[in-house]
């Protein structure tokens, strides 16, 4: 049977930490808690489960904190947990079986991260695989019977273990501050963080968050080396920002740019629908909401290609007095919501 170090970074998690650690009882051979500045009872609760509690000065860098937590681990494998995760009894049994049966050559185990659509996370799937269990010390192996070489790719196993994501608050405001601080310090975000910032804006951002992000995403509009994917993303952000700023000329500029290749984004079509509905031009709004739902593809938030425009279509037809169409689109809206519910 393998041994497992649970490594966690926490801050002010008194409401949910005990729930998480109770679900890890019997799975962890040691628990490492790295606290980045809690002012509540987080460390006292952690002490009920482990004496391996460490303070780490927060540096606006989650990777630095996680790397520090890994240096404290001593078991064969490291399991990364967040305080808002729970493993139910069925999946605890799967985890125990995994500990007993895991082949020694496996270096990374992926587990299904579930309940994603419940809490405005930056992921557009209710369940997806994430790497969660890592061999602490890696063994390099030679492969091929001739012209031998060292295998560099880790051996990954996709398990059937499901981890339930159950936050009690949104971390969006914290994340937006971190994005802006990273931009301030480095002048840019990695390609991954560029997309994650845009996703989180479209999933959980308010007008003020979009306005704060506007300048950064605007810099991508004039870059010759900008990729098609980066272009679609900044177009979605700028169209939303400029609509809410009342700059219809600027909004149309980037909306047309987005639609020019025939592969328009649902978010942009939706924003055009919002623009025309706010003007009281319901027929034009219907055209763009319909495109958002059926003709375009979402870039950042699955809802912009589904329930959001369907509900707006029902509202437009209600305003036009077409009760038959209103009922039809409300049925589609309810069906979409039911099929994609948490």
Distances (CA, A) of 162 to 24, 107, 126, 155: 13, 19, 11, 20
Nearest to 288 by CA among 239, 229, 337: 239
Q: Which residues in the chain show pLDDT less than 70?
A: 115-126, 341-342
pLDDT of residue 138: 87
Same domain, 148 and 16: yes
What is the CATH classification number for the domain harbouring 219?
A: 1.25.40.10
Same domain, 95 and 229: no
Residue 190: both structure tokens together:
């990695």
* Torsion over CA: 332, 165, 27, 88 (sign): negative
- 51 and 130 in contact (C-beta within 8 Å)? no
* Torsion over CA: 153, 155, 160, 165 (sign): negative
Q: Is 226 exposed, middle or buried (CB count within 10 Å of its CB: 0-12, 13-18, 19+)?
A: middle
The b-or-e profile of 299-325 (16+ CB within 10 A means b, else e) is bbbbbbbbbbbbbbbbbbbbeeebeeb
Strand 149-150, strand 142-143: pairing? antiparallel
DSSP for 311-338, written as a single string: HHHHHHHHHTT-HHHHHHHHHHHHHHHH
Same domain, 53 and 176: no
Final residue of a structural domain among 133, 150, 165: 165
Q: What is the pTM of this model?
A: 0.76
Same domain, 159 and 26: yes
* pLDDT > 70: percent of the chain: 96
pLDDT of residue 125: 55
Number of domains composing the chain: 2
- 34 and 11 in contact (C-beta within 8 Å)? no
Same domain, 178 and 324: yes
Final residue of a structural domain among 146, 165, 184: 165
Same domain, 230 and 108: no
Residue 331: both structure tokens together:
């049925």
Residue 200: both structure tokens together:
């989180």
pLDDT in tens, 214-230: 999 998 887 777 889 99
pLDDT of residue 166: 85
Final residue of a structural domain among 165, 189, 222: 165
* Average per-residue pLDDT for the chain: 92
Q: Is 232 left (phi over 0), alpha (psi -120 to 50) or beta?
A: alpha
With vertex at residue 177, the alpha carbon angle to CA 176 and CA 183, rounded to the nearest 5 degrees, is 90
Nearest to 12 by CA among 52, 47, 39: 39
pLDDT of residue 28: 97
Same domain, 55 and 149: yes
pLDDT of residue 342: 47
Distance CA 330, CA 311 (A): 6
Same domain, 26 and 91: yes
pLDDT of residue 146: 79
Same domain, 132 and 250: no
What is the CATH classification number for the domain harbouring 87?
A: 3.90.550.10
Domain that holds residue 255: 172-339
Nearest to 164 by CA among 203, 123, 126: 126
Same domain, 179 and 326: yes
- 314 and 333 in contact (C-beta within 8 Å)? yes
Q: H-helix or E-strand containing 162?
A: strand 156-165
């Amino acid at each position: 049977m393998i041994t497992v170090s649970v490594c966690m970074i926490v801050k002010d998690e008194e409401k949910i930490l005990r729930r998480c650690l109770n679900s890890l009882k019997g799975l962890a051979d040691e628990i490492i808690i790295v606290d980045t500045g809690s002012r509540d009872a987080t460390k006292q609760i952690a002490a009920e489960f482990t004496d391996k509690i460490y303070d780490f000065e927060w540096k606006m860098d989650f990777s630095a904190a996680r790397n520090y937590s890994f240096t404290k681990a001593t078991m064969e494998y490291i399991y990364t947990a967040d305080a808002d995760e729970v493993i139910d009894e069925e999946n605890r049994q799967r985890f125990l079986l995994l500990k007993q049966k895991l082949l020694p050559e496996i270096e990374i185990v992926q587990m299904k991260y579930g309940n994603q659509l419940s809490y405005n996370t930056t992921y557009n799937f209710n369940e997806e695989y994430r790497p969660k269990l890592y061999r602490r010390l890696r063994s390099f192996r030679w492969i091929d019977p001739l012209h031998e070489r060292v295998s560099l790719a880790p051996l990954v196993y996709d398990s059937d273990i499901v981890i339930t994501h159950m936050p009690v608050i949104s971390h969006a405001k914290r994340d937006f501050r971190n994005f802006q601080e990273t931009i301030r310090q480095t002048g840019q975000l990695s390609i991954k963080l560029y997309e994650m910032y845009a996703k989180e804006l479209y999933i959980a951002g308010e007008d003020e968050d979009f306005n704060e992000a506007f300048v950064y995403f605007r810099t991508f509009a004039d870059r010759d080396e900008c990729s098609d994917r980066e272009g679609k993303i900044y177009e979605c952000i700028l169209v939303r920002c400029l609509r809410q700023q009342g700059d219809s000329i600027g909004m149309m500029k980037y909306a047309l740019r987005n639609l020019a290749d025939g592969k328009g984004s649902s978010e942009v079509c939706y924003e055009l629908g919002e623009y025309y509905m706010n003007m009281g031009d319901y027929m034009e709004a219907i055209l763009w909401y319909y495109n958002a739902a059926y003709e375009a593809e979402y870039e950042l938030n699955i809802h912009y290609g589904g329930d959001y425009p369907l509900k707006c279509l029902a509202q437009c037809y209600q305003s036009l007095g077409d009760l038959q169409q209103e009922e039809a689109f409300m049925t589609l809206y309810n069906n979409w919501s039911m099929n994609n519910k948490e």
